Structure 1
Amino acid sequence: MKDETLATHSCPWEKVLGYRYDPESDSISLVQRTCDPNLATKRQILSAASSVFDPLSLCLPVTIQSRILVGEMWKANIDWDDPISKEMQERWRLLASDLSALHSLSFRRQVLDSDTVADLYIFTDVSKKTYGCSVYAVQGGISSLIFAKANVAPLKAKTLPTLELLAVFFFAVKCLSNILRAYQGTKFGSLYLAVDAQIVLTWLMSKQTSHKNIFTKNRLKDVTQWYLQITTLLSGINMCLPIRTLRT
Protein backbone atom coordinates (compact mmCIF):
# COMPACT_ATOMS: atom_id res chain seq x y z
CA MET A 1 0.00 0.00 0.00
CA LYS A 2 1.14 3.53 -0.71
CA ASP A 3 0.86 4.69 2.90
CA GLU A 4 2.71 1.56 4.08
CA THR A 5 0.08 0.78 6.73
CA LEU A 6 -0.65 -2.78 5.59
CA ALA A 7 0.18 -5.18 8.41
CA THR A 8 1.16 -8.75 7.59
CA HIS A 9 1.79 -11.78 9.76
CA SER A 10 2.50 -15.47 9.40
CA CYS A 11 -0.56 -16.66 11.34
CA PRO A 12 -3.02 -18.60 9.11
CA TRP A 13 -6.08 -17.01 10.74
CA GLU A 14 -7.42 -13.61 11.75
CA LYS A 15 -9.29 -12.60 14.88
CA VAL A 16 -12.71 -11.18 13.97
CA LEU A 17 -15.37 -10.13 16.51
CA GLY A 18 -13.92 -12.46 19.11
CA TYR A 19 -13.76 -15.48 16.79
CA ARG A 20 -10.86 -16.98 14.89
CA TYR A 21 -11.40 -16.56 11.15
CA ASP A 22 -9.71 -18.79 8.57
CA PRO A 23 -9.78 -16.95 5.20
CA GLU A 24 -8.78 -20.05 3.22
CA SER A 25 -11.75 -22.15 4.34
CA ASP A 26 -13.98 -19.11 5.02
CA SER A 27 -14.85 -20.54 8.43
CA ILE A 28 -14.88 -19.32 12.02
CA SER A 29 -13.99 -21.05 15.27
CA LEU A 30 -13.56 -20.15 18.91
CA VAL A 31 -10.23 -18.77 20.07
CA GLN A 32 -8.26 -21.46 21.85
CA ARG A 33 -8.53 -21.40 25.63
CA THR A 34 -7.01 -23.93 28.02
CA CYS A 35 -9.03 -24.44 31.20
CA ASP A 36 -7.23 -25.87 34.21
CA PRO A 37 -9.09 -29.06 35.24
CA ASN A 38 -7.73 -28.85 38.80
CA LEU A 39 -9.52 -25.67 39.87
CA ALA A 40 -11.38 -26.04 43.13
CA THR A 41 -13.16 -22.77 44.02
CA LYS A 42 -16.14 -20.89 42.60
CA ARG A 43 -14.01 -17.84 41.81
CA GLN A 44 -11.46 -19.85 39.83
CA ILE A 45 -14.05 -21.84 37.88
CA LEU A 46 -16.15 -18.79 36.99
CA SER A 47 -13.04 -16.95 35.79
CA ALA A 48 -11.90 -19.88 33.64
CA ALA A 49 -15.36 -20.50 32.15
CA SER A 50 -15.81 -16.80 31.34
CA SER A 51 -12.59 -16.81 29.28
CA VAL A 52 -14.36 -18.89 26.60
CA PHE A 53 -15.85 -16.21 24.34
CA ASP A 54 -18.74 -17.29 22.11
CA PRO A 55 -21.11 -14.34 21.44
CA LEU A 56 -23.24 -16.26 18.90
CA SER A 57 -23.48 -19.24 21.30
CA LEU A 58 -22.44 -21.67 18.59
CA CYS A 59 -21.08 -23.99 21.29
CA LEU A 60 -23.87 -23.37 23.77
CA PRO A 61 -24.52 -27.05 24.71
CA VAL A 62 -21.05 -27.07 26.29
CA THR A 63 -20.68 -23.51 27.60
CA ILE A 64 -24.05 -23.53 29.40
CA GLN A 65 -22.81 -26.40 31.56
CA SER A 66 -20.35 -24.13 33.36
CA ARG A 67 -23.14 -21.66 34.18
CA ILE A 68 -25.28 -24.50 35.51
CA LEU A 69 -22.39 -25.64 37.70
CA VAL A 70 -21.76 -22.14 39.07
CA GLY A 71 -25.49 -21.75 39.70
CA GLU A 72 -25.48 -24.92 41.79
CA MET A 73 -22.58 -23.49 43.80
CA TRP A 74 -24.71 -20.46 44.58
CA LYS A 75 -27.59 -22.69 45.66
CA ALA A 76 -25.22 -24.60 47.93
CA ASN A 77 -24.11 -21.28 49.53
CA ILE A 78 -20.48 -21.91 48.60
CA ASP A 79 -18.41 -18.77 49.10
CA TRP A 80 -16.06 -17.46 46.42
CA ASP A 81 -12.90 -19.03 47.80
CA ASP A 82 -14.33 -22.03 49.64
CA PRO A 83 -13.38 -25.46 48.25
CA ILE A 84 -16.14 -27.12 46.27
CA SER A 85 -17.31 -30.69 46.76
CA LYS A 86 -15.55 -33.68 45.21
CA GLU A 87 -18.55 -34.28 42.95
CA MET A 88 -18.38 -30.71 41.62
CA GLN A 89 -14.62 -30.98 41.15
CA GLU A 90 -15.12 -34.09 39.00
CA ARG A 91 -17.80 -32.35 36.93
CA TRP A 92 -15.48 -29.40 36.40
CA ARG A 93 -12.61 -31.69 35.41
CA LEU A 94 -14.70 -33.19 32.61
CA LEU A 95 -16.14 -29.83 31.60
CA ALA A 96 -12.70 -28.18 31.47
CA SER A 97 -11.60 -30.79 28.95
CA ASP A 98 -14.63 -30.04 26.76
CA LEU A 99 -14.16 -26.28 27.00
CA SER A 100 -10.49 -26.57 26.07
CA ALA A 101 -11.39 -28.55 22.94
CA LEU A 102 -14.04 -26.17 21.55
CA HIS A 103 -11.52 -24.39 19.33
CA SER A 104 -11.30 -27.53 17.20
CA LEU A 105 -14.88 -26.99 15.96
CA SER A 106 -15.35 -24.80 12.89
CA PHE A 107 -18.43 -23.16 11.39
CA ARG A 108 -19.10 -21.72 7.96
CA ARG A 109 -18.91 -17.94 8.00
CA GLN A 110 -21.39 -17.39 5.19
CA VAL A 111 -24.53 -19.42 5.75
CA LEU A 112 -27.03 -17.40 3.70
CA ASP A 113 -27.18 -16.26 0.08
CA SER A 114 -28.85 -12.88 -0.43
CA ASP A 115 -30.31 -14.00 -3.77
CA THR A 116 -32.28 -16.99 -2.45
CA VAL A 117 -35.34 -16.96 -0.20
CA ALA A 118 -34.77 -18.46 3.25
CA ASP A 119 -36.99 -19.37 6.20
CA LEU A 120 -36.25 -18.73 9.87
CA TYR A 121 -36.99 -21.37 12.51
CA ILE A 122 -36.83 -20.49 16.19
CA PHE A 123 -36.90 -23.42 18.61
CA THR A 124 -37.46 -22.81 22.30
CA ASP A 125 -37.03 -25.37 25.05
CA VAL A 126 -36.64 -25.55 28.79
CA SER A 127 -35.67 -27.85 31.61
CA LYS A 128 -35.65 -27.43 35.36
CA LYS A 129 -32.10 -26.06 35.07
CA THR A 130 -32.10 -23.92 31.91
CA TYR A 131 -34.27 -22.22 29.30
CA GLY A 132 -33.32 -20.90 25.90
CA CYS A 133 -33.72 -20.90 22.15
CA SER A 134 -31.86 -21.62 18.93
CA VAL A 135 -32.37 -19.90 15.58
CA TYR A 136 -31.88 -21.76 12.30
CA ALA A 137 -32.00 -20.43 8.75
CA VAL A 138 -33.10 -22.89 6.06
CA GLN A 139 -32.14 -22.03 2.50
CA GLY A 140 -32.04 -24.34 -0.49
CA GLY A 141 -32.73 -27.34 1.73
CA ILE A 142 -29.70 -26.59 3.94
CA SER A 143 -30.21 -25.77 7.62
CA SER A 144 -27.68 -23.56 9.45
CA LEU A 145 -27.52 -22.45 13.06
CA ILE A 146 -27.16 -18.65 13.10
CA PHE A 147 -27.79 -17.81 16.75
CA ALA A 148 -28.58 -19.36 20.12
CA LYS A 149 -29.15 -18.13 23.63
CA ALA A 150 -29.79 -19.76 27.00
CA ASN A 151 -29.87 -18.90 30.65
CA VAL A 152 -29.87 -20.73 33.94
CA ALA A 153 -33.33 -21.06 35.47
CA PRO A 154 -34.08 -18.55 38.26
CA LEU A 155 -33.18 -19.59 41.79
CA LYS A 156 -36.84 -19.13 42.70
CA ALA A 157 -38.53 -22.15 41.13
CA LYS A 158 -40.85 -21.55 38.16
CA THR A 159 -43.18 -23.97 36.40
CA LEU A 160 -41.98 -25.39 33.07
CA PRO A 161 -44.68 -23.53 31.06
CA THR A 162 -43.59 -20.27 32.70
CA LEU A 163 -39.96 -20.98 31.80
CA GLU A 164 -41.07 -21.79 28.25
CA LEU A 165 -42.75 -18.39 28.07
CA LEU A 166 -39.55 -16.82 29.38
CA ALA A 167 -37.60 -18.51 26.59
CA VAL A 168 -40.08 -17.23 24.00
CA PHE A 169 -39.94 -13.66 25.25
CA PHE A 170 -36.43 -13.01 26.54
CA PHE A 171 -34.57 -14.85 23.80
CA ALA A 172 -36.68 -15.69 20.75
CA VAL A 173 -38.56 -12.40 20.88
CA LYS A 174 -35.98 -9.91 22.13
CA CYS A 175 -33.17 -11.25 19.91
CA LEU A 176 -35.26 -11.51 16.75
CA SER A 177 -35.21 -7.79 15.95
CA ASN A 178 -31.39 -7.77 16.00
CA ILE A 179 -31.24 -10.87 13.80
CA LEU A 180 -33.60 -9.34 11.22
CA ARG A 181 -31.59 -6.13 11.13
CA ALA A 182 -28.34 -8.08 10.70
CA TYR A 183 -29.82 -9.95 7.72
CA GLN A 184 -31.64 -7.08 6.03
CA GLY A 185 -30.09 -8.06 2.71
CA THR A 186 -31.55 -11.59 2.90
CA LYS A 187 -34.99 -12.50 1.57
CA PHE A 188 -36.99 -14.43 4.16
CA GLY A 189 -40.16 -16.31 3.28
CA SER A 190 -41.57 -17.26 6.68
CA LEU A 191 -40.66 -17.25 10.33
CA TYR A 192 -41.60 -20.30 12.40
CA LEU A 193 -41.69 -20.23 16.20
CA ALA A 194 -41.59 -23.79 17.54
CA VAL A 195 -42.71 -24.40 21.13
CA ASP A 196 -43.07 -27.87 22.66
CA ALA A 197 -45.56 -26.82 25.33
CA GLN A 198 -49.17 -26.89 24.12
CA ILE A 199 -50.32 -24.64 26.95
CA VAL A 200 -47.82 -21.95 25.94
CA LEU A 201 -48.94 -22.17 22.32
CA THR A 202 -52.51 -21.72 23.52
CA TRP A 203 -51.50 -18.64 25.48
CA LEU A 204 -49.68 -17.19 22.47
CA MET A 205 -52.50 -17.83 20.02
CA SER A 206 -55.29 -16.61 22.29
CA LYS A 207 -53.22 -13.75 23.75
CA GLN A 208 -54.73 -14.46 27.15
CA THR A 209 -54.34 -16.81 30.07
CA SER A 210 -56.43 -17.94 33.00
CA HIS A 211 -53.22 -18.32 34.99
CA LYS A 212 -53.40 -16.47 38.29
CA ASN A 213 -49.64 -15.85 38.36
CA ILE A 214 -48.96 -12.16 37.73
CA PHE A 215 -45.48 -12.93 36.39
CA THR A 216 -46.93 -15.21 33.69
CA LYS A 217 -49.62 -12.69 32.73
CA ASN A 218 -47.04 -9.91 32.39
CA ARG A 219 -44.76 -12.03 30.18
CA LEU A 220 -47.68 -12.88 27.91
CA LYS A 221 -48.52 -9.17 27.72
CA ASP A 222 -44.89 -8.49 26.76
CA VAL A 223 -45.04 -11.04 23.95
CA THR A 224 -48.26 -9.52 22.61
CA GLN A 225 -46.71 -6.05 22.61
CA TRP A 226 -43.62 -7.44 20.88
CA TYR A 227 -45.75 -8.86 18.07
CA LEU A 228 -46.95 -5.35 17.27
CA GLN A 229 -43.41 -3.95 17.49
CA ILE A 230 -41.92 -6.62 15.23
CA THR A 231 -44.66 -6.00 12.66
CA THR A 232 -43.69 -2.31 12.66
CA LEU A 233 -40.01 -3.25 12.32
CA LEU A 234 -40.68 -5.52 9.34
CA SER A 235 -42.63 -2.76 7.65
CA GLY A 236 -39.81 -0.29 8.28
CA ILE A 237 -37.18 -2.47 6.59
CA ASN A 238 -39.53 -3.46 3.76
CA MET A 239 -39.70 -7.09 4.82
CA CYS A 240 -42.87 -9.16 4.62
CA LEU A 241 -42.42 -12.08 6.97
CA PRO A 242 -45.42 -14.24 8.00
CA ILE A 243 -45.01 -15.44 11.59
CA ARG A 244 -46.24 -18.99 12.20
CA THR A 245 -46.26 -21.16 15.30
CA LEU A 246 -45.45 -24.86 15.47
CA ARG A 247 -45.99 -27.46 18.17
CA THR A 248 -42.93 -29.69 18.34
Structure 2
Amino acid sequence: MKAFPTNDLASNLKDLDLEGDSKPIQRSLGLSWDVNTDKILFQLSSENKPITRRGILSTVNSIYDPLGFLAPIIIHGKLLLNNLVSETVDWDQPLSYETATEWICWRNILQELEKLRRLRTYVPYFSETVSKELRVFSDASKKAIAAVAYLCTTDISGTPSLSFVLQKAKVALNGGHTIPRLELCTAVLAIEIVQCITDNLDRNS
Protein backbone atom coordinates (compact mmCIF):
# COMPACT_ATOMS: atom_id res chain seq x y z
CA MET A 1 0.00 0.00 0.00
CA LYS A 2 2.88 2.37 0.77
CA ALA A 3 4.19 1.92 -2.77
CA PHE A 4 1.16 3.73 -4.23
CA PRO A 5 0.55 7.50 -4.05
CA THR A 6 -2.28 8.46 -1.68
CA ASN A 7 -4.24 10.05 -4.52
CA ASP A 8 -4.31 6.70 -6.36
CA LEU A 9 -5.91 4.83 -3.46
CA ALA A 10 -9.65 4.25 -3.10
CA SER A 11 -11.28 6.61 -0.61
CA ASN A 12 -11.96 3.81 1.91
CA LEU A 13 -8.32 2.71 1.84
CA LYS A 14 -6.45 5.99 2.26
CA ASP A 15 -6.47 5.99 6.07
CA LEU A 16 -6.80 2.24 6.58
CA ASP A 17 -4.60 0.55 9.17
CA LEU A 18 -3.99 -2.88 7.64
CA GLU A 19 -2.73 -4.31 10.92
CA GLY A 20 -5.45 -3.03 13.23
CA ASP A 21 -8.55 -1.99 11.28
CA SER A 22 -11.17 -4.34 9.91
CA LYS A 23 -10.78 -4.40 6.15
CA PRO A 24 -13.76 -3.24 4.03
CA ILE A 25 -15.65 -5.52 1.66
CA GLN A 26 -13.98 -5.54 -1.75
CA ARG A 27 -15.33 -6.20 -5.21
CA SER A 28 -13.39 -8.81 -7.15
CA LEU A 29 -14.46 -9.96 -10.63
CA GLY A 30 -17.99 -8.77 -9.93
CA LEU A 31 -18.26 -10.63 -6.61
CA SER A 32 -18.11 -9.26 -3.08
CA TRP A 33 -15.07 -10.44 -1.14
CA ASP A 34 -14.72 -10.26 2.64
CA VAL A 35 -10.98 -9.65 3.00
CA ASN A 36 -11.04 -10.32 6.76
CA THR A 37 -12.31 -13.90 6.42
CA ASP A 38 -11.34 -14.55 2.77
CA LYS A 39 -14.92 -15.49 1.88
CA ILE A 40 -17.27 -14.66 -0.97
CA LEU A 41 -20.47 -12.81 -0.06
CA PHE A 42 -23.70 -12.55 -2.01
CA GLN A 43 -25.22 -9.09 -1.78
CA LEU A 44 -28.58 -9.04 -3.51
CA SER A 45 -30.80 -6.11 -4.34
CA SER A 46 -33.50 -5.51 -1.73
CA GLU A 47 -35.71 -3.67 -4.23
CA ASN A 48 -39.14 -5.29 -4.53
CA LYS A 49 -39.88 -5.77 -8.19
CA PRO A 50 -43.50 -5.92 -9.42
CA ILE A 51 -45.01 -9.40 -9.38
CA THR A 52 -45.09 -9.67 -13.16
CA ARG A 53 -43.09 -11.53 -15.78
CA ARG A 54 -40.94 -8.44 -16.26
CA GLY A 55 -40.31 -8.17 -12.52
CA ILE A 56 -39.29 -11.83 -12.24
CA LEU A 57 -36.96 -11.54 -15.24
CA SER A 58 -35.32 -8.47 -13.71
CA THR A 59 -34.79 -10.23 -10.37
CA VAL A 60 -33.40 -13.45 -11.86
CA ASN A 61 -31.00 -11.58 -14.14
CA SER A 62 -29.78 -9.32 -11.31
CA ILE A 63 -28.05 -12.24 -9.55
CA TYR A 64 -24.39 -12.43 -10.56
CA ASP A 65 -23.03 -15.88 -9.85
CA PRO A 66 -20.37 -16.79 -12.46
CA LEU A 67 -19.07 -19.84 -10.57
CA GLY A 68 -22.51 -21.37 -10.00
CA PHE A 69 -22.58 -21.33 -6.20
CA LEU A 70 -26.30 -20.51 -6.31
CA ALA A 71 -27.25 -22.54 -9.38
CA PRO A 72 -29.56 -24.94 -7.45
CA ILE A 73 -31.52 -21.92 -6.19
CA ILE A 74 -31.42 -19.69 -9.26
CA ILE A 75 -32.70 -22.51 -11.49
CA HIS A 76 -36.02 -22.43 -9.61
CA GLY A 77 -36.47 -18.79 -10.58
CA LYS A 78 -35.65 -19.61 -14.20
CA LEU A 79 -38.14 -22.48 -14.20
CA LEU A 80 -40.83 -20.21 -12.81
CA LEU A 81 -40.06 -17.64 -15.49
CA ASN A 82 -40.17 -20.34 -18.17
CA ASN A 83 -43.65 -21.42 -17.05
CA LEU A 84 -44.90 -17.85 -17.30
CA VAL A 85 -44.37 -17.82 -21.05
CA SER A 86 -47.51 -19.92 -21.50
CA GLU A 87 -49.41 -18.38 -18.59
CA THR A 88 -49.15 -14.67 -19.42
CA VAL A 89 -49.52 -12.66 -22.60
CA ASP A 90 -48.19 -9.28 -21.50
CA TRP A 91 -44.90 -8.64 -19.69
CA ASP A 92 -46.62 -6.44 -17.13
CA GLN A 93 -49.69 -8.63 -16.60
CA PRO A 94 -50.21 -9.51 -12.90
CA LEU A 95 -49.54 -13.14 -12.08
CA SER A 96 -52.13 -15.61 -10.84
CA TYR A 97 -52.47 -16.08 -7.08
CA GLU A 98 -50.76 -19.50 -7.16
CA THR A 99 -47.82 -18.26 -9.23
CA ALA A 100 -47.47 -15.07 -7.19
CA THR A 101 -47.35 -17.14 -3.97
CA GLU A 102 -44.65 -19.38 -5.42
CA TRP A 103 -42.70 -16.32 -6.55
CA ILE A 104 -42.88 -14.66 -3.12
CA CYS A 105 -41.62 -17.85 -1.44
CA TRP A 106 -38.67 -18.02 -3.83
CA ARG A 107 -37.90 -14.32 -3.36
CA ASN A 108 -37.82 -14.85 0.41
CA ILE A 109 -35.21 -17.57 -0.10
CA LEU A 110 -33.08 -15.07 -2.02
CA GLN A 111 -33.11 -12.72 0.95
CA GLU A 112 -31.63 -15.49 3.08
CA LEU A 113 -28.72 -15.88 0.67
CA GLU A 114 -27.05 -12.75 1.98
CA LYS A 115 -26.46 -14.59 5.25
CA LEU A 116 -24.47 -17.30 3.49
CA ARG A 117 -20.68 -17.37 3.32
CA ARG A 118 -18.52 -19.51 1.09
CA LEU A 119 -14.86 -20.36 1.62
CA ARG A 120 -12.42 -19.99 -1.24
CA THR A 121 -13.35 -22.27 -4.12
CA TYR A 122 -9.98 -23.82 -4.80
CA VAL A 123 -7.45 -25.94 -2.93
CA PRO A 124 -4.07 -24.16 -2.59
CA TYR A 125 -1.04 -26.11 -3.68
CA PHE A 126 0.82 -27.75 -0.79
CA SER A 127 4.01 -29.83 -1.02
CA GLU A 128 2.32 -32.73 0.80
CA THR A 129 -0.39 -33.02 -1.87
CA VAL A 130 0.42 -36.19 -3.79
CA SER A 131 -2.46 -36.29 -6.27
CA LYS A 132 -5.07 -34.01 -7.80
CA GLU A 133 -8.06 -35.03 -9.88
CA LEU A 134 -10.88 -33.06 -11.47
CA ARG A 135 -14.22 -34.82 -11.06
CA VAL A 136 -17.34 -33.76 -12.97
CA PHE A 137 -20.88 -34.90 -12.22
CA SER A 138 -23.89 -34.27 -14.43
CA ASP A 139 -27.58 -35.15 -14.47
CA ALA A 140 -30.78 -34.32 -16.30
CA SER A 141 -34.50 -34.20 -15.63
CA LYS A 142 -37.50 -33.09 -17.65
CA LYS A 143 -37.20 -29.65 -16.04
CA ALA A 144 -33.48 -28.89 -15.95
CA ILE A 145 -29.96 -30.10 -16.70
CA ALA A 146 -26.87 -29.48 -14.58
CA ALA A 147 -23.18 -30.28 -14.24
CA VAL A 148 -20.70 -29.55 -11.45
CA ALA A 149 -16.94 -29.92 -11.13
CA TYR A 150 -14.94 -30.68 -7.98
CA LEU A 151 -11.22 -30.81 -7.39
CA CYS A 152 -10.21 -33.90 -5.40
CA THR A 153 -6.79 -33.83 -3.75
CA THR A 154 -5.03 -36.43 -1.62
CA ASP A 155 -2.27 -35.59 0.86
CA ILE A 156 0.72 -37.68 1.77
CA SER A 157 -1.23 -39.49 4.51
CA GLY A 158 -3.90 -40.57 2.02
CA THR A 159 -6.54 -38.16 3.32
CA PRO A 160 -8.78 -36.91 0.47
CA SER A 161 -10.17 -33.37 0.21
CA LEU A 162 -12.94 -32.18 -2.10
CA SER A 163 -13.40 -28.57 -3.27
CA PHE A 164 -16.11 -27.00 -5.39
CA VAL A 165 -14.79 -25.50 -8.65
CA LEU A 166 -17.61 -24.65 -11.06
CA GLN A 167 -21.28 -25.45 -11.63
CA LYS A 168 -23.84 -24.71 -14.34
CA ALA A 169 -27.56 -25.39 -14.53
CA LYS A 170 -29.94 -24.74 -17.40
CA VAL A 171 -33.67 -25.05 -17.98
CA ALA A 172 -34.35 -28.14 -20.09
CA LEU A 173 -35.36 -27.65 -23.70
CA ASN A 174 -39.09 -27.52 -24.41
CA GLY A 175 -40.70 -29.66 -27.06
CA GLY A 176 -41.03 -33.18 -25.69
CA HIS A 177 -37.35 -34.12 -25.55
CA THR A 178 -36.66 -37.53 -24.06
CA ILE A 179 -34.53 -38.10 -20.95
CA PRO A 180 -31.75 -39.80 -23.00
CA ARG A 181 -31.58 -36.74 -25.27
CA LEU A 182 -31.45 -34.43 -22.26
CA GLU A 183 -28.72 -36.62 -20.77
CA LEU A 184 -26.71 -36.01 -23.93
CA CYS A 185 -27.24 -32.26 -23.49
CA THR A 186 -25.99 -32.63 -19.92
CA ALA A 187 -22.88 -34.47 -21.12
CA VAL A 188 -22.16 -31.58 -23.48
CA LEU A 189 -22.58 -29.14 -20.59
CA ALA A 190 -20.13 -31.18 -18.51
CA ILE A 191 -17.58 -31.10 -21.34
CA GLU A 192 -17.98 -27.32 -21.60
CA ILE A 193 -17.24 -27.00 -17.88
CA VAL A 194 -14.11 -29.15 -18.17
CA GLN A 195 -12.95 -27.13 -21.17
CA CYS A 196 -13.52 -23.86 -19.31
CA ILE A 197 -11.51 -25.07 -16.31
CA THR A 198 -8.62 -26.51 -18.30
CA ASP A 199 -8.40 -23.32 -20.38
CA ASN A 200 -8.09 -21.14 -17.28
CA LEU A 201 -6.08 -23.23 -14.83
CA ASP A 202 -2.52 -24.48 -14.85
CA ARG A 203 -2.95 -28.20 -15.48
CA ASN A 204 0.70 -28.93 -14.66
CA SER A 205 0.60 -27.62 -11.08
Same fold (TM over 0.5): yes
1:183 matches 2:197: no
Q: Report the equivalent of 1:20.
A: 32
- Distance in 2 of aligned mates of 1:78 and 1:66: 19
Give ranges in structure 2 of 5+ residues lacking alignment: 14-22, 155-159
From 57, 64, 71, the counterpart of 1:53? 64
1:3 matches 2:5: yes
Compare 64-73 and 174-183 and name the one that shifted more: 174-183
Q: Report the equivalent of 1:161.
A: 180
Q: Report the equivalent of 1:33.
A: 45
Deviation string, structure 1 residues 54-82 (Cα, Å, up to 9, x no partner):
11110111111110000000133442111
After TM superposition, the score normalised by the length of structure 2 is: 0.82
Q: Report the equivalent of 1:127.
A: 141
Deviation string, structure 1 residues 119-155 (Cα, Å, up to 9, x no partner):
1111111111101111111123121211110111112
- Whether contact under 8 Å (1:68, 1:129) holds in the other structure is yes
1:1-248 to structure 2, matched below 5 A, reads: 1=3, 3-4=5-6, 5-9=8-12, 12-34=24-46, 36=48, 39-109=50-120, 111-115=122-126, 116=129, 117-140=131-154, 141-169=160-188, 171-184=189-202, 187=205
Aligned Cα RMSD in Å? 2.0
Q: Report the equivalent of 2:19.
A: none
- Whether contact under 8 Å (1:18, 1:31) holds in the other structure is no
In 2 relative to 1, CA 78–142 (structure 1 residues): closer, same or farther, beyond 3 Å? farther
- Whether contact under 8 Å (1:29, 1:106) holds in the other structure is yes
- Distance in 2 of aligned mates of 1:58 and 1:158: 28
Amino acid across the alignment from 2:119: R
Query: Aligned residue pairs: how many?
Result: 185
Amino acid across the alignment from 1:3: P
Amino acid across the alignment from 1:68: L
Amino acid across the alignment from 2:10: A
Give ranges in structure 1 of 5+ residues lacking alignment: 188-248
Q: How high is the sequence identity, in percent, across the aligned residues?
A: 28
SS in 1 for 2:40: strand
- Whether contact under 8 Å (2:121, 2:164) holds in the other structure is no
- Distance in 2 of aligned mates of 1:60 and 1:79: 28
- Distance in 1 of aligned mates of 2:88 and 2:94: 12
Compare 88-97 and 38-47 and name the one that shifted more: 38-47
1:35: Cα distance to partner? 5.3
After TM superposition, the score normalised by the length of structure 1 is: 0.69
